Amino acid sequence: MIEVKSIKLDVLLSPGDFEALPGCDMSATACVVFDVLRATSTMTVALANGATGILPCGTIDEAVAVREADPKLLLAGERDGLRITASVSGGVDFDLGNSPREMIAEVVSGRPLAMTTTNGTRALKACAGAHRVWIGSFLNLTALGQAIRDAAPERLLLVCAGTGNETALEDVLGAGALCDLLWDDLGQAASEAARHACEQYRGSRDQLLEAGGQAANGSRLLGIADLAPDVPFCFQRDTFPVVGELGTDGWIVG
């Protein structure tokens, strides 16, 4: 991460970048985590449909332990894109996977969730020392931009969760879309990574779904019949204007 006081807007493009965050002084930094396909999109929909809170868990065992302490809590998450089953967890079938289409009000309203995913929840936990941490997606982009303007953070860091150990194009596009939205406010103090993300988005904004669908994660999801509809769902803009924020207690609330 670039430690230059003149930089007010920065983007971390890969998991290797965010893994270093716990050792940084983040007290004056606000973070937005993007895992467009699909964790932060799924969390946004869950909160919009009445989930009382979401606890990001780094491991399956952590999520299962939380459930044991509170049987009313729903377990959600994935490994290799698929809902966690008893054979993966060591005995517990998760209630939900990592699809935003599963997060319907009839299931999640009034319920807390513990959620673990391959990259998204890891990225959120890596940002826990920041002054503020929001979850970002195309689904809540305009509301998110307004929340950031209202908070007026000293420094804004957009964190792309990635796929495995690699940069995920859809996360770069999400971060770039937020950069574009805030460019008049912060563009003069943007890092090269932020400029790159913004340019990526501006070059693809008329064909976002096509770009995201051709990238590695989007292409993989489109090849799984049950998950393919998640890709166009997650590229909708401003359909769930709820801004989830990670609190000091580790829970995300809207």
254 within a domain of the structure (yes/no): no
Q: Among 121, 150, 145, 98, which Cα is nearest to 241's? A: 145
Q: Is residue 56 part of a domain?
A: yes
Q: Where are the alpha helices (DSSP H) in 2-140?
A: 15-18, 39-48, 60-69, 86-89, 105-108, 120-126
Look at the chain and report how many structural domains it folds into.
1
109 falls within a domain: yes
Whether 3 maps to a domain, the answer reads no
DSSP conformation letters of 133-169: EEEE-GGGHHHHHHHHHHH--SEEEEEE--BTTB--H
In order along its 254 residues, the chain shows pLDDT tens digits of: 444 456 799 999 999 898 889 888 999 999 999 999 999 999 999 999 999 999 999 999 999 999 999 999 999 999 988 999 999 999 999 999 999 999 999 999 999 999 999 999 999 999 999 999 999 999 999 999 999 999 999 999 999 999 888 999 999 999 999 999 999 988 789 999 999 999 999 999 999 999 999 999 999 999 999 999 999 999 999 999 999 999 999 999 99
Residue at 4 is within a domain: no
Which structural domain range is residue 114 located in? 9-249
The domain that holds 149 is classified in CATH as: 3.90.1560.10
How far apart CA 4 and CA 24 sit, in angstroms, is 13
Structural domain includes residue 1: no
Asked if 117 and 95 touch (Cβ cutoff 8 Å), the reply is no
Q: Considering the domain boundaries, does residue 29 fall inside one?
A: yes
Residue 135 belongs to a domain: yes
